[in-house]
Structure 1
Amino acid sequence: MARTREAARRVFAVEYNSSQHEDRGLEENAPNYVITPLGESVNRMYLIGVLMSKTNNGTDDSPMYRAEIRDPTGTFYLYAGQYQPQALTALAQLEPPALLGVVGKIRTFVRDDGSFYASVKPEVIFPVDIPQRDRWIISTARFTMDRIRALKDAYGMDDPNEKDLVEMGHSGRTAASAVRSIGIYGQVDLEPIKKGIRDALDLVLEGGGESLGELPKMESGPSPKEAEKEKPGAEVKDTVFAIIKATMGNKGALYRDIIEECAKKGIDKIQLEETIQELLDEGLVYEPTIGIIKPV
């Protein structure tokens, strides 16, 4: 049976770089996952940050780029070679500093002394603007705070388990992350990650990000379970994704064309915006320029 493509998770650099564990699949060609300190299971990821540096560690004929992409909490390290042709071409053409979006897969390395390093193999690299960066920060902050809340509730339980955490209002995925974190890391120091969230949200506020709506608060917000219920159904998502691919030109699908075709299927603009946001969250599509949506 064909495997479905892994969703691209949103994780700040401070959480990803603190990871010390990889879950390797036992079956042939099974996906591997970096397990973060908050228990997030990451095979693919979607990040936004500033290209700070790039180095060609290969040759002119066979380039291998190492790049540093900085988000408000830390630095992601990217490695792109011949098997990442779009990312390789993009890095060859870009010069620091440049604000970029990246969809990529995990890459790990363990030194002889046992030190664990997590980096990223980019699949797609594309330019973004400040509003796109701010939306990514807000969304990533919400996901991260959901994991922190679940973990704090789990720390207060005699026997942390998914069932009880779900009954407390956490989504199944977030509950599983909390239990996974405790099983691998024990009790985690949450302060560095919480500081990273504050720094990231401060950056949005400094740029006038209040116009994006109410920013998430560290100790409050709608429960993950409620947010899960509001997600568009799989049928709507499949329909929108098919329309994006069907209306796509060389540069992607025009948003106005997507709206027009979705209206014919009975999908209103609010449903469409929610669905596209979920497709963006899962790393199935990206927005190379405003008004253009393109599948990864």
Structure 2
Amino acid sequence: MQSSNRPRAKRQPAIRIFSQEFSESTLTDKGPDEFDPAFVITKLGCMVNRALVAGLLESLNPRETSGGNTMWQGTLRDPSGLHYFSVGDFQGEALLAHAAQLSSDLESGDPIQLMMVAKTRLFQSDDGSIYTSLKPEEMCVINPNTYANWLVETSEATMQRIKDSEMIRGLEADDDTYVSAGITRSKTKGMVLAKNHYGEVDSEVYKLTVMRSLDIAEGKNLITPNPIKQPSVLDNENNDSGADEQTQTSSEMGDGGDSDAKGDVATDSDVLRATIQTIIRTGDSERGIDLATIIGNCEARGFSQNDTDICIDELVEGNIIEEVQFGWFRISQG
């Protein structure tokens, strides 16, 4: 028998993303080749083939498919809403067994914080509505420190996408135009597709999600918004086309890959650094944010003026932020 010369699909990185940005997506993109990966395109122009998400496991229930097999459908809540996911026999016996155990543990009433690396997809209901869903490759129970760390990292990633989106506001949807505006070439395809499909996007709602997430990372309990009602995932979930959907389960959550769900701790210093950077990014990218505004926002989140002053000095010394004029700061341009 001759060996197959079928090209192996390149493994896509797992994107840290909140449910709000992901669940609002109604656009996909896939190359012409049979084995090209499929991407969900968010309103901020992020192309997501695989996602790294985390949150509180709210439900995980068995469901019999048309083929007589059992699949598990669940919901995972983060600060902005719900992710919907499903685990079927196409994802392997080990993951099915893990889903069954998680469902049993959930019935005991103990809260479960879960992190997963998952493939993304859109599906259309009978009434024509478009919904998002996740197909986990790996899942693991995490502690509050790991969840806080994920919140900080995902907030930073989201703020970068917000900043990029604001840089192209009002510009023609064109790769070269976006590059001239300062967007990295690797990001322009998704941003052009998003602009043509969604139009101009109000980024303020995503900034509020970032602020809420940083508050939770600091230990504050905030009420999350009501989720969009989501129908059951269609039976053909098991028959998704595309070879990239059949890649083996990754080991990156356990062996130090780009989406490692390691148990390192998000310290108060980490959260303060992320909070200062987020506050600065919400302001004018040229003029920056004044010191009094930064300190006031940080004090509202429980940080002292002295700690904030020290952290600002450290960020300036590390060339993370810069003082454009006395008492005014912005994200470093160099």
Q: What TM bracket, shorter-length normalisation? A: 0.5 to 0.7
Answering whether residue 81 of structure 2 is matched by residue 74 of structure 1, we say yes
- The CA RMSD measured in Å over matched residues stands at 2.3
* Cα pair 1:154 1:161 within 8 Å, conserved: no
**How far apart, in 2, do the equivalents of 1:19 and 1:193 lie?**
14
**How far apart, in 2, do the equivalents of 1:219 and 1:149 lie?**
11
Which of these residues, 92, 99, 107, is aligned with residue 91 of structure 1?
A: 99
1:107-186 matches, within 5 Å, as: 107-157=121-171, 159-186=172-199
Q: In structure 2, do the counterparts of structure 1 residues 29 and 176 end up closer, same or farther at CA, with 3 Å as the change threshold? A: closer
What amino acid sits opposite 1:185 in the alignment?
Y
Q: Report what 1:275 is aligned to.
A: none
Question: Gapped runs of 5+ residues in structure 2?
Answer: 1-6, 221-265, 283-334
What amino acid sits opposite 1:193 in the alignment?
Y
Question: Gapped runs of 5+ residues in structure 1?
Answer: 222-296
Structure 1 residue 219 displacement after superposition: 4.4
Q: Report what 1:239 is aligned to.
A: none
What amino acid sits opposite 2:97 in the alignment?
T
**How far apart, in 2, do the equivalents of 1:69 and 1:212 lie?**
25
* Cα pair 2:168 2:181 within 8 Å, conserved: no
Q: Report what 1:269 is aligned to.
A: none
What amino acid sits opposite 2:268 in the alignment?
E
Answering whether residue 36 of structure 2 is matched by residue 30 of structure 1, we say yes
Matched residues, number: 219
**How far apart, in 2, do the equivalents of 1:40 and 1:205 lie?**
27
Answering whether residue 71 of structure 2 is matched by residue 10 of structure 1, we say no
Answering whether residue 79 of structure 2 is matched by residue 65 of structure 1, we say no
Q: Report what 1:211 is aligned to.
A: 269
Q: In structure 2, do the counterparts of structure 1 residues 114 and 189 end up closer, same or farther at CA, with 3 Å as the change threshold? A: farther
Aligned residue for 1:29, secondary structure, equals: coil
Structure 1 residue 30 displacement after superposition: 2.1
Q: In structure 2, do the counterparts of structure 1 residues 132 and 172 end up closer, same or farther at CA, with 3 Å as the change threshold? A: farther
Answering whether residue 207 of structure 2 is matched by residue 200 of structure 1, we say no
**How far apart, in 1, do the equivalents of 2:10 and 2:73 lie?**
29
Per mean C-alpha deviation after superposition, the further-off stretch among 20-29 and 116-125 is 20-29
What amino acid sits opposite 1:217 in the alignment?
T
Aligned residue for 1:64, secondary structure, equals: strand
**How far apart, in 2, do the equivalents of 1:210 and 1:156 lie?**
38
Q: TM-score, normalised by structure 1?
A: 0.67
What amino acid sits opposite 2:148 in the alignment?
D
What amino acid sits opposite 1:198 in the alignment?
M
What amino acid sits opposite 1:16 in the alignment?
F
Deviations 1:13-51 (A, max 9, x none): 000000011113322132211111111111111111111
